Amino acid sequence: MRIVCPFCGERELGEFTYLGDAKPVRPAAGASEDEVFDYVYLRDNVAGETSEYWYHGGGCRTWLKIARNTLTHEISSVEPAAGAGAAKVGA
């Protein structure tokens, strides 16, 4: 598998580290215990399109948000995660 880093270009998988699901959103303060439990522990095991965080630690050390199909490993989009690289996301 290869990932096209928006800053570095196409690179081998070995330069990247997988963090996990990019979908969970931190619940607001005062959220119920169930909501927090869900956010911290519960993950969907999706067969198909997923949204994930990856880290280009062996390259430009930028966090990326990647849309990947777990059935085919096809990557349909790669974008810098929030705050990564002002040049691309204006943060």
Binding site for Zn ion (CB under 5 A): 5, 7-8, 56, 59-60
Residue 83, binding choice from Zn ion, another protein, none, Cβ under 5 to 8 Å by partner class:
another protein
CB of 14 to Zn ion, least distance (A): 13
Cα torsion 69, 75, 77, 81: sign: positive
- Give dist(CA 34, CA 50) in Å, integer: 23
Tell whether residue 55 is a contact of another protein (CB under 8 A).
Answer: no
Q: How many residues bind another protein (CB under 8 A)?
A: 21
Q: Residues 15 to 44: which contact another protein by CB under 8 A?
A: 15
Sheet holding 75-80, edge to edge: 17-21, 49-55, 63-69, 75-80
